């Protein structure tokens, strides 16, 4: 079944089309016509396809942010700041921009564009745009470090890992802009650091014992900031896992590559590895001594096929 969203169409708002889709049987496609949709949708129908025509012309945007005050005087917090929430397995997102317009506002703090949680979520040819905490790949870690830190749509949900796939996407931000606990595979994506001072690309919170965290293959890590100003990642939780292979790394990447978030214990628990990368930021001779360079044999474990086999 296909629903069309756009001015003068069957539905003019994505949220209205999603409500109608909940009772539909079989595969459901929401085809979104070009336009700017100022909405905060939640997709909770398994297998639903949210399909734009082109990410340059089809934009879902909102402007919630973590430091905004709620009516009761508390802050909104990170996990209620999202623009789009994918909250079911098998969802596909194609040919869209998902943007948090507050992300670049001074003092906004975290401002999630896409909150994705569910086994088999696939995002293709999309632009995911914000500054701090742009893309959250759920689930949340098991426990929060600051009381109330997980307030949001999934704070009381079971922590179930799911595999997510990102192909041919543009993802930008400045601080921890790809973060979370999911197994997430990125291929042919542009990962752009837009903060002009310093930053961190990933903040993984991979669960202990989970085989895969983030794997990047054939991606381009670009940056608008000064040379040697951005870390590839830091561990949001102790067992963070990130593997970057066959990727181009720009001159904005710091020679040491990885940061421990002032927790030396993570030197023994986190797993940060690189393989066959190239570009001005790809040299590994000055990387922190607790990161890894994969052998040819080890690299065979970090492929799309292996990740799909897992679980």
CB–CB of 64/103 below 8 Å? no
Alpha-carbon distance 115 to 54, whole Å? Answer: 21
Q: Calculate ∠ Cα 59-216-265, nearest 5°.
A: 115
| CB hemisphere CA count around 134 (13 angstroms) | 28
What is the rounded distance in angstroms from the CA atom of residue 2 to the CA atom of residue 24? 10
**How far is Cα 166 from Cα 161, in angstroms, rounded to an integer?**
16
Instruction: Work out whether strand 114-117 and strand 199-204 pair parallel, antiparallel, or are unpaired.
Output: unpaired
Nearest Cα to Cα of residue 77 among 153, 26, 171: 153
Q: How large is the C-alpha radius of gyration of the chain?
A: 19
Catalytic-residue membership of 133: yes
Which of 54, 64, 176, 246 is flagged as catalytic? 176
Catalytic residues: 133, 176
């Amino acid at each position: 079944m296909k629903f069309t969203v756009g001015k003068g169409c069957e539905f003019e708002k994505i949220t209205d089309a999603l409500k109608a889709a909940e009772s539909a049987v079989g595969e459901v496609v929401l085809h979104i016509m070009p336009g700017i949709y100022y909405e905060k949708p939640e997709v909770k129908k398994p297998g639903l396809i949210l399909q734009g025509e082109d990410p340059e012309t089809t934009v879902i945007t909102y402007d919630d942010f973590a430091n905004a005050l709620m009516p009761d005087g508390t802050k909104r917090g990170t996990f209620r700041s999202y623009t789009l929430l994918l909250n079911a397995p098998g969802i596909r997102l194609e040919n869209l921009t998902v943007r948090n317009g507050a992300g670049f506002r001074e003092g906004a703090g975290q401002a999630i564009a896409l909150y994705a949680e569910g086994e088999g979520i696939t995002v293709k040819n999309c632009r995911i745009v914000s500054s701090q905490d742009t893309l959250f790949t759920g689930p949340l870690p098991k426990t929060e470090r600051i009381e109330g830190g997980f307030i949001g749509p999934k704070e009381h949900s079971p922590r179930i890992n799911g595999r997510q796939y990102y192909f041919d996407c543009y993802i930008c931000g400045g601080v921890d802009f790809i973060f979370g606990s999911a197994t997430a595979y990125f291929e042919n994506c542009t990962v752009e650091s837009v903060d002009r001072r310093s930053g961190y690309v990933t903040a993984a919170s991979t669960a202990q014992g989970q085989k895969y965290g983030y794997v990047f293959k054939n991606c381009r890590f670009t940056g608008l900031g000064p040379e040697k100003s951005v870390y590839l990642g830091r561990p949001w939780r102790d067992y963070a896992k990130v593997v970057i292979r066959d990727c181009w790394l720009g001159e904005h990447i710091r020679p040491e590559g990885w940061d421990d978030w002032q927790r030396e214990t993570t030197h023994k628990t986190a797993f940060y590895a690189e393989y066959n990368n190239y570009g001005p930021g790809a040299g590994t001779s000055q990387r922190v001594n607790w990161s890894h360079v994969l052998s040819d044999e080890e690299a065979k474990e970090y492929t799309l096929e292996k990740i799909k086999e897992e679980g």
